[in-house]
Amino acid sequence: MELESWIKLARGYLFLGRNLLAGKVINNILDLLAFLDYRLLIILSMWHPDHSTRIKLLRKRGVRISEKAFVDLGVYIEITAPQHVVIEDYVKIGYGAVIYAHDAAVNSVADLPMRVEETRIGYNSAIGSRSLIMPGVTIGKHSGVLPGSVVTKDVPDHTVVGGVPAVKMFTSEELGLSWQADVLAHPEKYYDHPNPARAPSTPFDHIITWRESGVKVRDWMELRTGTPFDYIVDFKLRRKEKKKAGETGS
């Protein structure tokens, strides 16, 4: 490899090392702040840069959330009664979603009690960005909520809802088949990504057959961050291509 490529690779690892070291220092400082001030605990459970720490802080607040769930930045989860929010394994919650378990709207203007109900997000379900889940709602297993929706009623298993208020749009199986059909028609738009938040199995795995079709989608490592970290990715891709070319030549 030419000298310029080696220099870029070194810059990439320097960038990565610097950020890993800074991340550890910043994480320790933020953990201390969250311990000292409950208000900061709430804010950091939404905005802490480390995902595993966000899960830990949510659990400290009382939210009953699985360590296998994924919660994006900016997700607001019930403050008044956090122990009434249940988030099961392999749930994915998109940026800026809001989940409530209490309703104090009437209580705030009249001498009427506040209502508190358990809100549950079921196994392997996905909540789209900027969605609102109202108190007492249960999102079923393997279900989904489209971005920007307001969910006021329970969502059955294997169902995708959307809108304001949210209504059934299609089944999870129908969404999967539609997505797969687009993969087959336009593979250039898709990247094969080994998502760690993915459940190990689902009831509709049998309909996911695009790999058997032989269609070629792009490697997720082709995506770029616009930082020197890209130099490391470029190096790995070139090495991968060189190895593949060697195996083909033999």
DSSP codes of every residue in 37-92: -HHHHHHHHHH-S-HHHHHHHHHHHT-EE-TT-EE-TT-EE-SSSGGGEEE-TT-E
| Tally of domains within the chain | 1
Q: Using CA atoms, how far apart are residues 6 and 235, in angstroms rounded to an integer? A: 9
Instruction: Please tell me the pTM assigned to this model.
Output: 0.87
Q: Is residue 3 part of a domain?
A: yes
Q: 201-248 pLDDT, tens per residue?
A: 999 999 999 999 999 999 888 888 888 888 888 888 877 777 777 766
Chain centroid to CA 201 = 17
Task: Provide the residue range defining the domain that includes 19.
Answer: 1-63
Q: Is residue 95 part of a domain?
A: no
Residues facing residue 64 across a β-bridge = 86
Q: Is residue 7 part of a domain?
A: yes
Confidence check: pLDDT of 110 > 80: yes
Q: Is residue 47 part of a domain?
A: yes
Q: Is residue 17 part of a domain?
A: yes
Q: Using CA atoms, how far apart are residues 121 and 89, in angstroms rounded to an integer? A: 9
Q: Is residue 158 part of a domain?
A: no
Q: Is residue 54 part of a domain?
A: yes
Q: Is residue 237 part of a domain?
A: no
